[in-house]
Amino acid sequence: MKKLLLIPIISLFIISCVSEIGPPGPPGQDGIDGINILGQIFEAQVDFTADNDFEVFIEFPSQIEVFDTDVVIAYILVGVDNGVDIWEPLPQTLFFEDGILLYGYNYTFNDIVFFLDGTVSIPDLNPELTQDIIFRVAIIPADEAKSVDTNNLKEVMNALHNKEIIKLNEF
Q: Please give the Cα distance from 165 to 135 (Å, whole number).
A: 12
CA 156 from chain centre, in angstroms, equals 7
pLDDT for position 147: 62
pLDDT per residue rounded down to tens, the chain (171 residues) = 555 555 666 665 555 666 677 677 666 554 444 444 567 889 999 999 999 999 999 999 888 888 888 889 999 999 999 999 999 999 999 999 999 999 999 999 899 999 999 999 999 999 999 999 999 999 888 766 666 666 666 666 666 655 556 565 655
Half-sphere exposure of 162 (CA within 13 A, CB side): 23
CATH topology for the 40-167 domain: Immunoglobulin-like (2.60.40)
Side chain identity, residue 60: F
pLDDT for position 69: 84
Other beta carbons within 10 angstroms of residue 58's beta carbon come to: 18
Q: Do residues 50 and 152 make contact, with C-beta atoms less than 8 angstroms apart? A: no
Side chain identity, residue 43: E
Q: Do residues 138 and 156 make contact, with C-beta atoms less than 8 angstroms apart? A: yes
Domain ranges, ordered by start, for the chain: 40-167
Side chain identity, residue 66: V
pLDDT for position 106: 96
Other beta carbons within 10 angstroms of residue 7's beta carbon come to: 9
Q: Which helix (H) or strand (E) element contains residue 116?
A: strand 111-118
